[in-house]
Amino acid sequence: MQKEYKTVYTGGEGEIIEKKSRFIATVRPVESEEEALAFIEEMRKKYWDARHNCYVYSVGMNREATRCSDDGEPSGTAGRPMLDVILGQDIYNVAVVVTRYFGGVLLGTGGLVRAYSLAVQTGLAASTVITKKLGISLKVETDYSGIGKIQYIAGENGLPILDSEYTDKVILHLLVPEEQVQQVKKHITEGTSGRASMEKIKDVYFADVNGETKIWEC
């Protein structure tokens, strides 16, 4: 698993005008090639009257399913420049369709490359792009005398408390970034004088989305 990667949380739409031609970029997060193809077909139906619906998608942590199409534009002037933007920004699990309504003026090879590249950049700018980071859900069990110290350590390290249980003992589930696991365990052991037991429950990805921590299972 990658320690972190960029992806789209919510897609957006951007539009540019180049010599009277409209370029509409629609961005969508996708988790499979089937999702990407269904999205492309959806855009083709929505913009059925457009001259071109060029697309790019990249799915998988090793970019196992990565495709692009010029959809009738001169070879190499649309799909590949669109893919170059995705690769350049290092974004995974994303699909983009750029719809062109021809304005009557030929743009030439260089003009098309610039227009399709800029359209994708504009669409991504209108989307919510996040960085997912690898972490773990850490179960910490202690007695009531240790809870204050654990809460302090969580606060000092910016660790969200995912869940808590209070019975004859206290159980906290902490979200811990992968690179902080050993350090946090050491601090908890020292802070509770060894009275806390810790167990990794599962690997997760997490990201900050508009100031809120979101979590995904790996």
**For the chain, counts of helices (H) and of strands (E):** 5, 12
| pLDDT tens digit sequence for 70-99 | 999 999 999 999 999 999 999 999 999 999
Q: Give the residue among 130, 128, 32, 31 at the shortest CA–CA distance from 90.
A: 130
Residue 6's pLDDT is what? Answer: 97
Q: What DSSP character marks residue 179?
A: G
Percent of the chain with pLDDT over 90: 92
pLDDT band (50, 70, 90) for residue 2? confident
Q: Give the residue among 114, 156, 138, 118 at the shortest CA–CA distance from 203.
A: 138
Residue 1's pLDDT is what? Answer: 80
Cβ neighbour number for residue 30 with a 10 Å cutoff: 23
Q: How many residues does the chain have?
A: 218
What's the angle, vertex CA 119, arms to CA 92 and CA 77, rounded to 5?
90
| pLDDT tens digit sequence for 135-157 | 999 999 999 988 999 999 999 99
Mean pLDDT taken over the chain: 95
Residue 161's pLDDT is what? Answer: 92
Give the pair of three-digit tokens for residue 218: 């790996």
| pLDDT tens digit sequence for 40-72 | 999 999 999 999 999 999 999 999 999 999 999
What's the CA gap between 71 and 67, in Å, rounded? 12
Residue 61's pLDDT is what? Answer: 93
What's the CA gap between 166 and 49, in Å, rounded? 61
| pLDDT tens digit sequence for 156-182 | 999 999 999 999 999 999 999 999 999
